[in-house]
């Protein structure tokens, strides 16, 4: 097991009260495996990733419970300098917005090269050569000439490639990609996702893909964890979940995608709004929006029921959901 | 709500299907200048470079394209937020680009816009009632002062918000609710045409469907014609009667939704459709993907001839020399095939890229 997150809890202390962003999340990622974490804004998918990377803003954030086992070590027990050795070298992150994640006043070559001078103690000249090699690898044309250019001189898709080059630089075992293609156009998104999938296969890295796009997930993921209000509501291998979701929220998401045979009809829409994280409804957090909600859903938080050896659903009525 | 729908438009209705908006040769160039004191024009960003289309009464025309293709600039010109460099926008047969003063104001009442970002398009210091009622300040003939509050509450009801929220501020609403406020503002003057520029792009998936359904039901209730601009191809297909595909300032292909999605003939449309991820893991292995190389060229430096040729796998010498016209390609002119629709390509051929269900 490459990574195992166990019962993670994260909260944010704000002026208005405590926001419970992550409320007991567990998932695992194997070598060479792609886990897609699917959820809407505020579902806690990015906060979980930040906790794994150790880049959560503390305060206002606070990890109040759980373990993050990476290659057997609990990252939450490590000191900051121990984590720094892992971050970048063993696990790396690709962010959504490449323009604001890159330093505008440093050339891209210097930013990629910095990883080698800091982690590997290379000279600046060698690091620059490495940067050119990596830019070639992520297929940036004329890498040799462009290594001295600045982020604003690259297009959105090219900037995202530079982010990927930086993430791959030290050949990490785990990559966390937080909405890596959300800011890109579809034709460029296709290029970037293909590149990422190819490099992942080649280097046998674990990949956590955080996204809200059900299409991207279907294209690349091995398994899926669906998050809602800081909890995982369903996990399953990718093929099974699209065929027959076992949680009403997943089902609603899948049904709200416009389909050909529904042209001219009303789209299925999940009613209501995602909950405020300061006042998560008691019981199942989805119950006010759920068409199947009963008294038990309003009273007790549903545990993750075992649907099959590889599937879990946090719904008291997963059988009914699965059947119809 | 019922009497709101019954209120007549400003002018006599256009029969269903007749053109209400005709756009021809629409151009918007932004000059690039050099020098501080004596500004010398050294070029132009050709954001929109010759766009033609017709919008029928009661119809929804979808416009798709990637960022920088000029689709939003077209929208802004339709509602007169930008003045075109050249070309005509005929509303009910009258060219509105030439109008000014009172005549322009009267026309603007009938063409309203819904913006993309519900977080920045609502003034945070105004209450919802003031935001939705502001159009009445500019066009007082639509609603006398004493009547406005009731009208705003009716509008809130129409878009599915509680009319009691009239005194709240935008920050008290979620993204989807804010977009409903934006839609209510767009409806306030009872326009005939609504130009919606990426109205659901900023919203969560579960909320997108709610807003799309709202737009759909309002169209029937208020007899609206929509220009619906978006980059999400599946949503555009769901809501549109006809679809135009834009690339670098021009429409490269236009037709009914079936013609564009099932029988695309322009290579760019085919690449765009094939790049859209399909929410079905079974399709992963047996679908053909056209992955384009490179990026969209800069609109300040548009390639000669066909503007798509630098990324096109079919490009030949002719493409660099001759600008392909947006017309039914010669090969499809005879007979009655769904491929018979306007496509600006010298080598147009049919290729099915969307998997059948």
Sorted by where each starts, the structural domains of chain B and their CATH numbers stand as 2-240 (3.40.50.300), 245-343 (no CATH)
pLDDT confidence tier of residue A259, bands split at 50, 70 and 90 = confident
Beta bridge partners of B194: B112, B226
> With contacts defined as CB-CB under 8 Å, which chain A residues touch B209?
256, 267-270
Give the angle subtended at the CA of A305 by the CAs of A7 and B281, to the nearest 5°: 90
CB B275 to CB A216 under 8 A? no
Instruction: Pick the range with the lowest mean pLDDT from A101-110, A162-171, A177-186, A306-315.
Output: A177-186
> With contacts defined as CB-CB under 8 Å, which chain B residues touch A263?
237-238, 257
Q: Does B241 touch chain A (CB under 8 A)?
A: no
Residue located via tokens 């070559």: A109
Report the residue of chain A nearest B280, measured CA to CA.
Answer: A218
Nearest C-alpha neighbor of B250 from the set B318, B314, B327: B327
Residues ≥6 apart with Cβ < 8 Å to B101: none
d(CA B125, CA B147): 23
Concatenate the DSSP letters of all residues of A105-148 into one string: TS-HHHHHHHHHHHHH---HHHHHHHHHHHHHHTT-TTHHHHTT
Nearest C-alpha neighbor of A90 from the set A53, A126, A55, A134: A53
> With contacts defined as CB-CB under 8 Å, which chain B residues touch A259?
357
CB A238 to CB B281 under 8 A? yes
Structure tokens belonging to residue B226: 């929509």
> With contacts defined as CB-CB under 8 Å, which chain A residues touch B231?
185-186
Interface with B, mutate which of A96, A260, A291 (most B CBs under 10 A): A260
State how far the alpha carbon of A183 is from the alpha carbons of A20, A37, A211, B239, B327, in Å. 27, 18, 12, 23, 33
pLDDT confidence tier of residue B4, bands split at 50, 70 and 90 = low
**Distance from A63 to chain B by nearest Cα, in Å?**
26
Residues ≥6 apart with Cβ < 8 Å to B206: A40, A252, A253, A256, A269, A270, A274
pLDDT mean over A283-310: 90
Report the pLDDT value the prediction gives residue B245, as an integer from 0 to 100.
Answer: 95
Complex confidence, ipTM: 0.77
Structure tokens belonging to residue A215: 């299409």
Nearest beta carbon to residue A260 from set B213, B282, B357:
B357
Structure tokens belonging to residue A15: 């002026």
Can you give the pTM of this predicted structure?
0.84
**Mean confidence (pLDDT) of chain B:** 87
Report the pLDDT value the prediction gives residue B90, as an integer from 0 to 100.
Answer: 93
pLDDT mean over B135-147: 87
pLDDT confidence tier of residue B265, bands split at 50, 70 and 90 = very high
pLDDT mean over B197-207: 82
pLDDT confidence tier of residue A153, bands split at 50, 70 and 90 = confident
**Distance from A158 to chain B by nearest Cα, in Å?**
9
pLDDT mean over B167-190: 89
Strand order in the sheet with B225-230: B111-114, B193-197, B225-230, B60-64, B242-247, B250-256, B342-343
What DSSP state is assigned to residue B15? P
**Phi-psi map region of B96: left, alpha, beta (phi>0 left; psi -120 to 50 alpha):** alpha
CB A262 to CB B234 under 8 A? no
Nearest beta carbon to residue A267 from set B238, B295, B357:
B238
**Mean confidence (pLDDT) of chain A:** 88
pLDDT mean over B295-311: 88
Percent of the residues in chain B that have a pLDDT greater than 70, as a whole number: 95
Report the residue of chain B nearest A214, measured CA to CA.
Answer: B279
CB B257 to CB A263 under 8 A? yes
* 3-class secondary-structure state, position A202: helix
Nearest beta carbon to residue B206 from set A189, A239, A252:
A252
**Distance from A129 to chain B by nearest Cα, in Å?**
24
- Does A186 have pLDDT greater than 90? no
Residue located via tokens 């999400």: B232
- Identify which has the larger pLDDT, B346 or A262: B346
pLDDT confidence tier of residue B3, bands split at 50, 70 and 90 = low
d(CA A228, CA A43): 5
Pairing of strands A174-178, A91-94: parallel
List B residues 20-79 in contact with A (Cβ-Cβ < 8 A).
66-67
Q: CA Rg, chain A, in Å?
A: 21
- Number of A to B CB contacts under 8 A, please give it: 119
- Does A183 have pLDDT greater than 80? no
Report the residue of chain B nearest A40, measured CA to CA.
Answer: B204
Concatenate the DSSP letters of all residues of B212-255 into one string: HHHHHHHHHHHT-EEEEEES-HHHHHHH-SEEEEEETTEEEEEE
**Distance from B5 to chain A by nearest Cα, in Å?**
20
Q: Does B300 touch chain A (CB under 8 A)?
A: no
Q: Does A217 touch chain B (CB under 8 A)?
A: yes
Residue located via tokens 């045979």: A261
In chain A, count H helices and then E strands. Answer: 13, 12
Report the pLDDT value the prediction gives residue B296, as an integer from 0 to 100.
Answer: 81
Report the pLDDT value the prediction gives residue B355, as an integer from 0 to 100.
Answer: 61
> With contacts defined as CB-CB under 8 Å, which chain B residues touch A155?
295-296
Report the residue of chain B nearest A271, measured CA to CA.
Answer: B210
CB B238 to CB A263 under 8 A? yes
pLDDT confidence tier of residue B2, bands split at 50, 70 and 90 = very low
**Residue A6 CB neighbours (<10 A):** 15
**Distance from B284 to chain A by nearest Cα, in Å?**
6
Sign of the Cα pseudo-torsion (B164, B170, B176, B182, in order): positive
- Identify which has the larger pLDDT, A187 or B211: B211
- Identify which has the larger pLDDT, B188 or A158: B188
Q: pLDDT per residue over B87-128, tens digit each? A: 999 998 889 998 888 888 888 899 999 988 888 889 999 999
CB B279 to CB A187 under 8 A? no
The number of CA neighbours under 13 Å toward the Cβ of B314 is 16
Interface with A, mutate which of B160, B231, B241, B281 (most A CBs under 10 A): B281
- Does B1 have pLDDT greater than 50? no
d(CA B75, CA B193): 12
**Distance from B106 to chain A by nearest Cα, in Å?**
33
Q: Which domains does chain A have, with CATH numbers?
A: 3-221 (3.40.50.300), 231-260+267-323 (no CATH)
> With contacts defined as CB-CB under 8 Å, which chain A residues touch B275?
186-187, 189-190
Each residue of A104-135: b (16+ CB within 10 Å) or e? eeebbbbbbbbbbbeeeebeeeebbbbbbebb
What DSSP state is assigned to residue A6? E
């Amino acid at each position: 097991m490459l990574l195992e997150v166990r019962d993670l809890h994260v909260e944010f202390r704000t002026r208005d009260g405590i926001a419970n962003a992550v409320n007991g999340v567990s998932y695992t990622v194997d070598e060479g495996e792609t886990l897609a974490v699917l959820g809407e804004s505020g579902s806690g998918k990015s906060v979980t990733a930040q906790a794994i990377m150790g880049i959560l803003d503390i305060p206002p954030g606070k990890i109040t419970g759980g373990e993050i086992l990476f290659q057997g070590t609990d990252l939450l027990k490590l000191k900051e300098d121990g984590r720094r050795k892992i971050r970048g070298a063993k696990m790396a992150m690709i962010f959504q917005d490449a323009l604001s994640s890159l330093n505008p006043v440093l050339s891209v070559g210097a930013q990629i090269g910095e990883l080698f001078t800091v982690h590997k103690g290379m000279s600046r000249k060698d690091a620059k050569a490495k940067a050119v090699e990596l830019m070639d690898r992520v297929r940036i044309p004329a890498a040799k000439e462009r290594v001295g250019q600045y982020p604003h001189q690259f297009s959105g898709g090219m900037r995202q490639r530079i982010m990927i080059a930086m993430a791959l630089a030290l050949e990490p075992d785990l990559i966390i990609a937080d909405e890596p293609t959300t800011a890109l156009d579809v034709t460029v998104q296709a290029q970037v996702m293909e590149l990422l999938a190819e490099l992942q296969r080649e280097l046998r890295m674990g990949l956590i893909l955080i996204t809200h796009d059900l299409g991207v997930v279907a294209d690349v993921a091995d398994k899926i964890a669906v998050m809602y209000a800081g909890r995982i509501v369903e996990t399953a291998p990718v093929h099974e979940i699209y065929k027959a979701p076992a949680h009403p929220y997943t089902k609603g998401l899948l049904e709200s995608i416009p389909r050909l045979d529904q042209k001219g009809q009303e789209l299925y829409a999940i009613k209501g709004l995602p909950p405020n994280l300061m006042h998560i409804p008691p019981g199942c957090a989805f119950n006010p929006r759920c068409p199947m909600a009963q008294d038990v859903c309003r009273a007790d938080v549903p545990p993750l029921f075992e649907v099959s050896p590889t599937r879990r659903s946090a719904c008291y009525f997963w059988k009914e959901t699965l059947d119809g | 709500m019922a009497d709101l729908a019954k209120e007549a438009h400003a002018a006599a209705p256009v029969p269903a299907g007749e053109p209400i908006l005709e756009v021809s040769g629409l151009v918007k160039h932004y000059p690039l200048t050099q020098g501080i004191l004596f500004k010398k024009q050294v070029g132009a960003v050709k954001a929109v470079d010759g766009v033609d289309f017709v919008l029928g009464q009661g119809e929804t025309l979808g416009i798709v394209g990637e960022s920088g293709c000029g689709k939003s600039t077209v929208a802004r010109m339709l509602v007169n937020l930008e003045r075109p460099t050249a070309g005509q926008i005929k509303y009910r047969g009258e060219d509105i680009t030439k109008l000014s003063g009172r005549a322009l104001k009267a026309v603007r009442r009938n063409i309203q816009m819904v913006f993309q970002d519900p977080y920045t398009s609502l003034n945070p210091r105004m209450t919802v009632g003031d935001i939705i009622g502001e159009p009445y300040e500019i066009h007082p003939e639509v609603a006398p002062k004493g009547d406005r509050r009731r009208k705003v509450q009716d509008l809130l009801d129409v878009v599915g918000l509680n009319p009691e929220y009239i005194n709240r501020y935008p920050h008290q609403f979620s993204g989807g609710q804010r977009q409903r406020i934006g839609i209510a503002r767009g409806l306030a003057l009872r326009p005939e045409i609504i130009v919606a520029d990426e109205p659901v792009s900023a919203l969560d998936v579960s909320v997108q469907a709610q807003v799309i359904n709202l737009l759909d039901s309002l169209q029937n209730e208020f007899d609206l014609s929509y220009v619906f601009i978006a980059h999400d191809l599946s949503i555009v297909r769901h809501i549109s009667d006809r679809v135009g595909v834009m690339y670098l300032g021009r429409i490269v292909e236009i037709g009914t939704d079936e013609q564009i999605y099932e029988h695309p003939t322009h290579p760019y449309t085919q690449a765009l459709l094939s790049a859209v991820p399909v929410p079905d893991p079974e399709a992963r292995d047996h679908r053909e993907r056209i992955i384009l190389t490179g990026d969209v060229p800069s609109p300040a430096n548009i390639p000669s001839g066909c503007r798509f040729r630098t990324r096109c796998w079919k490009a030949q010498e002719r493409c660099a020399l001759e600008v392909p016209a947006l017309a039914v390609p010669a090969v499809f002119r005879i007979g009655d095939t769904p491929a018979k629709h306007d496509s600006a390509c010298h080598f147009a051929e049919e290729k099915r890229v969307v998997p059948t269900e």
